[in-house]
Structure 1
Amino acid sequence: MKTYLIDDDHISIFITAQTLRLENFSEDIQTFHSAEDALDKLVGATGIKESPQVIFLDLNMPGMNGWEFLDTIKPYENQLLNTCRIYILTSSLDFTDTKRIKDYPLVADLLHKPIGPEDIQVIMAEHAEGYRK
């Protein structure tokens, strides 16, 4: 399963990637330290070519934050809707984040950092069931 991990924190990326590997979640994990770099890879100059099945997206990053990333990919939502799920990673306990994700059909869930094996198992089960609940 192709996976993008977008987070500006090197330690968070390391821990999340290790957890994903230990749980046999993905053999293809591409990490990005900025949302802009991930956006360039996802959309490129000609639009979406090959999307990942899962994107783990940090909300609070310098430059383009997670919300801005989600707003920027809105024009590609229909192309991604049945092939890609986005999981928000956050260390925040802000309740408005939980409410706000409902505005983004590509966002499957909001997960608190660090994600654990249980979180990964739930995502794997959801992925096995298909993209629309």
Structure 2
Amino acid sequence: MELNPLFLLIEDNLIDQLVTKQLLKKILSIEQVTIANNGKEGIQWLNNNNIRNKQPLIILLDIQMPIMNGFEFLKEFHKLNKKTKKRVQIYVLSSTLDSDEIRQIEENKYVTDFLNKPFPIEELKNKLLLYEKLL
């Protein structure tokens, strides 16, 4: 990708972390994926890196996690400065079938899209290419 976005995977499951990271590397040629084990670590990473990183950021966000889940992360994300939020796309990765959770995800203004697990790498690739064309 020409934009060379940063990737932040917020996921507590070690197997999902490994599989997602390998798929991003193999299919999208993404060399570096930062991993946060829960929403709290994700917010901390954003707070620590938002000044020096001006490039686009793709967040892959799990919903069910200990310490701070995906919905709590989205509430904290809302509090971040506009400059940080403007360069971020959030893709929720979840295997939920709960209609209330799906509705919450779809109605959240910060969520770019909802992707079902297992991780649909080709679907994400197509969405990112479309986004790149819009810029």
Normalised TM-score (structure 1): 0.84
Alignment match of 2:112 (pick from 108, 111, 123): 108
| Partners of 2:39 and 2:108 in 1: CA distance | 17
In the alignment, structure 1 residue 93 sits paired with structure 2 residue 81:
no
Q: Which runs of 4+ in 1 moved over 4 A?
A: none
Q: How many correspondences in the alignment?
A: 129
Alignment match of 1:40 (pick from 40, 44, 55): 44
2:67 is paired with a residue whose SS is coil
Determine the structure 2 residue equivalent to 1:74: 78
Determine the structure 1 residue equivalent to 2:65: 61
Say whether the 8 Å CA contact 2:91–2:114 is kept in structure 1.
yes
Change (3 A) 1:106 1:80: farther
Can you list the C-alpha shifts for 1:42-80, whole angstroms capped at 9, x where unaligned?
114xx8323751000100001110000000111226323
In the alignment, structure 1 residue 119 sits paired with structure 2 residue 113:
no
| Partners of 1:38 and 1:2 in 2: CA distance | 13
CA RMSD between the two structures: 2.1
Determine the structure 2 residue equivalent to 1:28: 32
Q: Which amino acid aligns with 1:106?
A: Y
Gaps of 5+ in 1: none
| Partners of 1:78 and 1:103 in 2: CA distance | 19
Say whether the 8 Å CA contact 1:15–1:114 is kept in structure 2.
no
Change (3 A) 1:103 1:116: closer
Indicate the percent of aligned positions where both proteins have the same amino acid: 26
